[in-house]
Amino acid sequence: MEDLNEEEEWEYPLSGFTKIFYSLTSAAIFLFGLYLGSTPSPAGIAFSLTVVSVLMLLAGLIVLNVARKKLVITKDRILYTSLFSTRELPIQSIRGYRVSSKAIVIEPSSPEYGRIYIGNYTDLANSSDIRKWVMANFKDVNAEDLAIARHQMLEDPTVGNSPEEREKSYQRAKVFAYGYNTIAIITGIVMALISSAFSNICLLLIPWIGVVVMFSNKGLIKLYGASNRSINPYVMPGIVLSSVCMLVKSAKLYTLLNIAPLLIPSMLAATVLIVPLYLRGRNAAAGSLQGQVIFILVAGLIYGFASIRLINCAFDAKPAELYQAEVLRHWYTTGRGRGYFIKLSPWGPQTEPSKVEIGRQFYQNTFIGDSVLVRLKPGLLQLPWYRVERREDNIITERKGINPN
């Protein structure tokens, strides 16, 4: 981009390819809405009208975005028009920029003006020129923030008694965070593949070890970090991914008779983890605090549901009630959500046909019409759960009175 004269301006609307892509997407959504509106829906007219209205609105918003979105740069101002707003910022009031792969953020130097957030700036025509001009004419706020944060850390007496000691504490915190994330992820994956009390205890403890790592490193380690704008190491990958491993394991191995009673104890377990994550895990330098709070809530909920389900089922030593059920259907899915499933006839307290995920070997040796064994257990936390097994003589004779229904 060349230097601008007093009366010149550069306008950057959406690129031609982006306009075509969004226009075709809008047309496809619109036609799909027309199709749904002309087809009787088993859910009723009200539901059909609601879905069609939403699709029509979405198609209209896409068209409006194509017409409105643009960036205008003049000698003395920057003007950005998006779908729902228009923001203007004088050149002399610009503090600097933040650039990521998807967005350019123009930060004001005065609270009098709001920042300009250009999301998906690569959709604009000549987006590389926009990026080059911004980087050539303003300072990198991220780099400035990192320098300020590092200086403040080296001057913080709570981190150490001297700059040298504080630097050692900081480097040690980085090692602790990196080591925890690596070990937590590897251990979480391995323990999710092993069926034992030890593996279950490990999965329950891994996120809490991350909390201990945060609290034992003088506030240097946070839950969430951003290397381009925060110097703090973080333990988010270890805590979240190990919790996801526990959730997958508990969902694969144990089927609850009713999911509703799981809600309250899971919320309580989530709260117990959310509190320390909130108190020590927030990182003001890493971006939106509101976004971090949402992330903390999600991380806590994943752990809450996974831990309660695992504790309830894996540590349930109470005797089981045995039932028989007929296989009504069986199928498998491929791709990312690969799994093997059967549909069972009603049995015991399960009054409706139910879908159950099973192992590959079980699936290959089970056919429609076969009779299978259902073990119903009360659950350590009084959340009934069950497991489906093949009927074999040594299993059936374990209980003389198997309920036929």
Query: pLDDT digits over 87-120, tens only?
Result: 999 999 999 998 887 889 998 988 888 889 998 8
Residue 288 has pLDDT above 80, yes or no: no
321-396 topology per CATH: OB fold (Dihydrolipoamide Acetyltransferase, E2P) (2.40.50)
* DSSP string of 97-157, one letter each residue: EEE-SSEEEEEESSTTS--EEEETGGGBTTHHHHHHHHHHHS-BHHHHHHHHHHHHHHT-T
The pLDDT assigned to 3 comes to 52
Mean pLDDT over the full length of the chain: 87
Residue 286 has pLDDT above 70, yes or no: yes
Query: pLDDT digits over 160-219, tens only?
Result: 889 999 999 999 999 999 999 999 999 999 999 998 999 999 999 999 999 999 999 888
Query: pLDDT digits over 303-346, tens only?
Result: 999 999 999 999 999 999 999 999 998 888 877 667 888 889 99
Span 293-301, average pLDDT: 93
Residues 352, 349: Cα–Cα separation, whole Å: 9
Q: Is 303 exposed, middle or buried (0-12, 13-18, 19+ CB in 10 A)?
A: buried
Check residues 284 and 64 and name the one with the higher pLDDT: 64
Nearest to 59, CA basis, from 89, 24, 11: 24
The pLDDT assigned to 395 comes to 45
The model carries a pTM of 0.74
Nearest to 91, CA basis, from 110, 105, 109, 78: 78
The pLDDT assigned to 397 comes to 40
Query: pLDDT digits over 12-21, tens only?
Result: 999 999 999 9
Residue 405 has pLDDT above 70, yes or no: no
Residues 288, 115: Cα–Cα separation, whole Å: 13
Nearest to 314, CA basis, from 221, 204, 403: 204
> Which residues, in sequence order, are CB contacts of 133 under 8 Å at separation 6+?
1, 73
> Side-chain half-sphere of 258: how many Cα atoms within 13 Å?
10
Least confident of 42-51, 85-94, 218-227, 299-308: 42-51
The helix or strand, by DSSP H or E, that contains position 197, with its residue range, turns out to be helix 197-215
- Hunting for tokens 């995920």 — which residue is that? 357
CA dihedral angle for residue 265, residue 268, residue 272, residue 273, rounded to 10 degrees: 70
List, in sequence order, every beta strand (DSSP E) within 318-369. Answer: 321-333, 339-344, 354-358
